Chain A
Amino acid sequence: DVKVTQSSRYLVKRTGEKVFLECVQDMDHENMFWYRQDPGLGLRLIYFSYDVKMKEKGDIPEGYSVSREKKERFSLILESASTNQTSMYLCASSLPRDSSGNTIYFGEGSWLTVV
């Protein structure tokens, strides 16, 4: 079974702090994604990566950056956290580039509260 593991389930950070959300997948998937989930808005894509050191902006990249130094690991970075970034963050992975018909596998999510 594919496993996508997010390092922290619940985090509380202060405004202005730098925040790292870590994600690891164990199935050698090329594609990795970071989504943000908010009530009534569904899932919105922040960034995705289809290869090591490659990244592409999603629909809401402002205030976020990402890092993919190894194939299995995809990190989301909030350079200076703000209260409007309080949300549930979902990491996901899938098989190769251009294969949008492939299943996306999700982690369990990281609940981030910025105070």
Chain B
Amino acid sequence: AQSVTQLDSQVPVFEEAPVELRCNYSSSVSVYLFWYVQYPNQGLQLLLKYLSGSTLVKGINGFEAEFNKSQTSFHLRKPSVHISDTAEYFCAAGGYQKVTFGTGTKLQVIP
């Protein structure tokens, strides 16, 4: 069975500082990997996804993630965060017909 682990439930960071949100997955088969963002009182929207090819994936709003097969990780990074990045971020892994989500990481950007 597939599982997704987000190691940090909350990450506070000062505005304009860099941030990394960690995600590890477990799977014995090839997976597709995603990061979604949820702004307050809204549904989730896709930030970026890895299907194949280059292990560095660029997404919207300046975010990027790197697929590391040997470490089964897909960490999300942004070099300089903005107040508007305050949200909850979900890592997800897709397999046959089904996508499994992590428990989410709340990013709090401090002015």
Contact = CB atoms under 8 A, between A and B. Distances in A.
B94 A42 contact: no
Nearest to B93: A100
Interface in A70-115: 90, 92, 97-98, 100-101, 103-104, 106-109
Nearest to A31: B97
B49 A103 contact: yes
B101 interface: yes
A107 B43 contact: yes
B45 A106 contact: yes
A90 B94 CA distance: 18
Interface residues of B, number: 24
Contacts, number: 59
The contact size tier of chain A is: 20 to 34
B32 A100 contact: yes
Contact of A108 (B43, B98, B101, B103): B43
A100 B99 contact: yes
A4 interface: yes
A97 B43 contact: no
Given A42-B90, A48-B97, A100-B97, A4 B103 contact: no
B102 A106 contact: no
Contacts of A106: 36, 43-45
Given A100-B97, A100-B98, A108-B42, A41 B103 contact: yes
B43 A90 contact: yes
B95 interface: yes
Given A100-B97, A101-B49, A108-B42, 20 more contacts: A4-B43, A41-B103, A42-B103, A43-B101, A44-B101, A97-B97, A98-B96, A100-B32, A100-B95, A100-B98, A101-B32, A101-B94, A103-B34, A103-B46, A104-B44, A106-B36, A108-B43, A109-B41, A109-B42, A109-B43
* Shortest beta-carbon contacts, A-B, top 10: A100-B94, A106-B43, A42-B103, A101-B32, A43-B101, A106-B44, A101-B51, A108-B43, A42-B101, A103-B46
